[in-house]
Chain A
Amino acid sequence: MGDTHGERRPAGELEAGVLAALWAAGRPLTPGRVQEALGGALARTTVTTILTRLYEKGTVSRERSGRGFAYLPTEDASGLTARRMHAELAKDEDRGAVLSRFVSQLGDEDERLLRSLLDGDGRPS
């Protein structure tokens, strides 16, 4: 994914990627660190803008770090609602009715097949 490709995408999509990077780290990150975590797909200024916007929405908190800020994700109101819903759906055996999960459960044979497929594609194609 090239730099220009990343910059052209809608702001909402970029926010999701930045937020996910913060959650993946699990500790406060400066904009520079976020940019590194994203593999340099976005410009530093873009990352800073997105982080500021996420902070204004209350999705992330921030603390002083040197001359700038380090950002940390917070579990906001939507996170709490999502948790309740998630728990409710876990009890519901028919949860597939509304939701499509990214991956379904694997059988033993599936695991073996997947590993051999991954090995076959170990190098970037």
Chain B
Amino acid sequence: MIYTVWLPLVLPFLAGPAARRLPASLPPRRAVLVLALAAIGLAGASTCALALLVVPGATHLPVVAAVGHLLVPLASGAPDAVVAVAAVAAALLVCCTTLLVRGAGRRQRRLRRARALAARSEGELVVLADHHPDAYALPGRPGRIVVTTGMIRALSAPEREALLAHERAHLKDRHHLFTAVVDLAGLCHPGLRALREPLAYAVERSADESAAAAVGDRGLTARAIARAALAARAASAAATPRPGPALAATAGPVPKRVAALLGVPDPGSGRAMRPLVRRAAALALLSCVVLSAGASLHAADELHDGIEIAQGESP
């Protein structure tokens, strides 16, 4: 049995904890890129590992052995275990592929609808007559910014400029593509779902920084975010009964974003992280990716050697 093949299947579970600490340790724009690349690397390596687990068991099938010109099945462990592992890996591979195709299709349909709206709209800003404060960017070419009247009225004119700059940054930096990559990676390996939240946070932070640069005022941008969030909360509290105190007591993303813009320590952790700890997160995530890719390659190489032996080509 090739043991390194299991590594890419386990490592994505370690990527989550490292990823959660990443947005605090890298500039937001770089954190977005690193998280997306890590998701691609880890998803690719784990899918590869599944495929490598299928092969030894599959060689017990006469048809596969014939196609591969194998004299004997691959000798990589007890035949029963090898076949069982191959069957499970094959089932997982089919399951992942189905989820991936369906997930990508759903996303594509949603994007098409968003583009249809963008095509009908003359201007960059689409205003919705709705008292509930809400704002988001609709990707497209060009994209559109949708803002409700509730949000417009909750903010002052300079704060609205910060909001528009934030949404423009999402569109210009094509953040929806990074989100899509990480979401789809989460369908390839359940451990990678833990990367979604850190990415969502890094994407917002990146847009916040772009907005602060565009309006030239970090305090103003922070106030715009805080007031928008408080207004949205007040409106939803009035509309629906307030959810009980079951909500997490830790700081959610909005206070963290505001604190980061104001340059005060993260309200969630209570104190600033030491530089060494901050760098460790990036290093840990990078190690996961490198180890995963290396293990996959090593396992593929071992398998290749095994196949040559089974073909009777080398001793």
Contact = CB atoms under 8 A, between A and B. Distances in A.
Interface of A: 1, 5, 12-13, 15-17, 19-21, 23-24, 26, 37-39, 41, 54, 57-59, 73, 75-79, 81-83, 85-86, 88, 96-111, 113-115, 117-118, 120-121, 124-125
Interface in B1-58: none
Nearest to A123: B219
A119 B146 CA distance: 29
A108 B116 contact: no
A106 B247 CA distance: 9
A43 to B, nearest CB: 15
Interface in B105-150: 106-107, 110-111, 113-114, 116-117, 120-130, 134-139, 144-147, 149
Nearest to A106: B233
Contacts, number: 207
Contacts of A102: 134-136, 151, 163, 166-167, 225, 228
Contacts of B204: 100
B131 to A, nearest CB: 11
In this complex, the member of B247, B253, B254 whose beta carbon has the largest number of chain A beta carbons within 10 angstroms is B254
A81 B119 CA distance: 11
Contact of A97 (B110, B137, B151, B226): B110
Contacts of B166: 102
B124 A13 contact: yes
A86 B130 contact: yes
B164 A20 contact: yes
Interface stretch (B257-265, B279-287, B304-312): B257-265
A100 B200 contact: yes
Contacts of A16: 123-125, 145, 164
Nearest to B166: A102
Nearest to B125: A16
A88 B114 CA distance: 11
Contacts of A77: 120-121
B189 interface: no
Given A100-B136, A109-B247, A15 B230 contact: no
Secondary structure at chain B's binding surface: helix, strand, loop or mixed?
helix
B139 A118 contact: no
B228 to A, nearest CB: 5
B152 A23 contact: yes
Contacts of A1: 158, 161, 215-217
Contacts of B107: 97-98
Instruction: Bin chain B's interface residue count.
Output: 35 or more
Contact of B160 (A20, A97, A108, A120): A20
A124 B125 CA distance: 28
Nearest to B135: A102
A5 B216 contact: yes
Contacts of B222: 117, 121
Contacts of A37: 157
A107 B233 CA distance: 9
B188 to A, nearest CB: 16
B146 A86 contact: yes
Contacts of A21: 157, 160
A48 to B, nearest CB: 17
B252 A20 contact: no
B298 interface: no
B120 A20 contact: no
A58 B179 CA distance: 35
Given A1-B158, A20-B160, A118 B223 contact: yes
Nearest to B231: A103
A39 B157 CA distance: 7
A37 B159 CA distance: 12
B71 interface: no
A114 B110 contact: no
In this complex, the member of B110, B166, B264 whose beta carbon has the largest number of chain A beta carbons within 10 angstroms is B110
A125 B17 CA distance: 35
B127 A73 contact: yes
